[in-house]
Amino acid sequence: MTIAYPSTPPVVAAPSGAPRPRLTFLGTGYLGATYAICFAELGYEVLGFDVDEAKISKLSGGDVPIHEPGLDELLRKNLSAGRLRFTTSWEEVAEFGDVHFICVGTPQRPDGMAADLSHVESAVTNLAPLLKRKALIAGKSTVPVGTAEWIEQLVRRHTPAELGVEVAWSPEFLQEGVAVEDVLRPNRIIFGVKSDWATGMLYAAHKGVFDLALTEDREVPVVVTDFATAELVKVAANAFLATKISFINAMAEVCEAAGADVTQLARSIGYDARIGNKFLRAGVGFGGGCLPKDIRAFQARAQELGVGEALRFLHEVDLINQRRRQKIVQLSAELLGRGYGPAGPDLAGTRITVLGATFKPNSDDVRDSPALSVVRKLARSGAEVTVYDPEGMDNARNDVADVTYSKTLTDAVTGADLICVLTEWEEFRNADPNSLNELVAARRVIDGRNCLDQSVWVAAGWEYRGMGKPAVA
């Protein structure tokens, strides 16, 4: 059932007796921290929980442990307003909350493609036995279909039946870099529920979002559905987005062979409203804490359900994506005049500067970052690699230790034989190649995100290579 809120809401009272349900967010990573802070901003009383004491003390002190534009300011504002607190105590969480949102990570398991649900399990089994009144445990984390049913069983096992604790699933769709906007002004909300009480509670827990929409003359579509559909909405959306990116990157491969330009191809097909121009940027491919591991976990779950063939194409989507990373190494060898044999190129003695470490701009997240994956490959081929990123340096250093990190763009490019732009930060897009001319050892650039103005770089005397574009010297 799809409802465009605000409409007539089901009314249920918060079990704590508070005028609005009190919300807890379990796990204060990219997802939970953003939600906790934004829902306090929407006027809710909020408690954020994490097992990581360092993270909690940072947040309590007004310091956001991640880089997400606009979040610092909202954190400090809502801490001072007294609506927002953070804790490492399960007892406090159980005592405080009417709705407990599960926001913990579900990373890829080290032994395969499936999702690791140990954090979800631990959140539920720690919280449930401490509950003293009715509450709603609502999942937001991305999980394999069937998880909500399993959580319901865990809750039944760990809470007395007379409390009537319920479970719901309400996946989130925030994109890093614009996460605050995505949480405050979502394009849709999904309620996976089994009872009217759960629907009413979720409605009350999101009323702030609907009220904000009302003041801005917008409506927020809400799909009220079953657990399995709600869980699948999230992975299906991410699988579709990953497929769209890999589709255009496959076209880039064809363009490279045929001497065509994928950026013009993408623009041309994107004018068809059925296709649309979003998520059609060819380049070094997708990364991050979501798309890569979600398409793998989805395939693993489909196998378990006996429908592995239905998602076999996602394996191809993954392979196309991985090939784009290798393409940067291949282009580097080509530009530097090095042979490319079966064991890869020999880049020994070359100095390559990689601009970008995060998986996308306006984030400090380097999880499964294409840029860092290329850094590793280049270093493995013998290149001396120098990396610069405006926000991701600390995380990058923890991930890849044995390369050089520079504090500024100018330092990073000085003496380089080749520059690879692998994350489309504004600082790189706007860099004036003329001002870099005297710093580099040779004017060669690979535009791994097709984000530079090719004509300006070529006019400044640079040998330029884009992704899926004809070579320009």
CB nearer ligand UDX, residue 262 or residue 329: 262
Residue 290 falls in the annotated catalytic set: yes
Q: How far is the CB of 215 from ligand UDX (least distance, A)?
A: 25
The dihedrals phi and psi of 243, each to the nearest 5 degrees, come to -65, -40
State the nearest-atom distance from the C-beta of 179 to ligand UDX, in Å.
Answer: 7
Whole-number Å distance between alpha carbons of 278 and 172: 19
CB nearer to ligand UDX: pick between 159 and 362: 362
Q: Which entry of 38, 290, 420, 451 is annotated as an active-site residue?
A: 290
Nearer residue to ligand UDX within complex by CB, 28 or 238? 238
Nearest distance in Å: CB 16, ligand UDX: 30
> What is the Cα–Cα distance from 293 to 325, expressed in whole angstroms?
17
Residues 410, 204: Cα–Cα separation, whole Å: 51
Residue 38 or residue 127: which is nearer to ligand UDX going by CB? Answer: 38
Report, in Å, the least distance between residue 288 CB and ligand UDX.
4
Kindly tell me which of 286 and 457 has the beta carbon lying closer to ligand UDX: 286
In the complex with ligand UDX, the residue whose CB is nearer, 265 or 347, is 265
Residues β-bridged to residue 101: 25, 138
| CA-CA-CA-CA torsion sign (256, 261, 262, 268) | negative
Q: How would you list the strands of the sheet with 463-465, edge to edge?
A: 404-405, 384-388, 351-355, 418-421, 444-447, 463-465
| Residues making contact with ligand UDX (CB under 6 A) | 172-176, 238, 241, 245, 279-281, 283, 285-288, 290-291, 359-360
**Long-range contacts, 206-215 (Cβ 8 Å, 24+):** 206/5, 207/9, 207/20, 208/39, 208/42, 208/43, 208/44, 209/42, 209/184, 209/185, 210/5, 210/6, 210/9, 211/6, 211/42, 212/42, 212/184, 212/185, 213/5, 213/6, 213/185, 214/6
Smallest separation (angstroms) from ligand UDX to the CB of 388? 18
122, amino acid identity: S
Q: How far is the CB of 81 from ligand UDX (least distance, A)?
A: 28
> Contact 418/336 with Cβ under 8 angstroms?
yes
User: Quick count: other Cβ atoms within 10 Å of Cβ 82?
Assistant: 9
Give the max Cα distance, the chain: 76
Nearest CA to 194 out of 216, 165, 167 is that of 167
- CA-based torsion, 169, 367, 127, 185: positive or negative: negative
Reply yes or no: is the peptide bond before residue 342 cis, omega within 30 of 0: no
Q: Which is nearer to ligand UDX, 174 or 297 (CB)?
A: 174
Shortest Å distance, C-beta 173 to ligand UDX: 4
Catalytic residue numbers, as ranges = 290
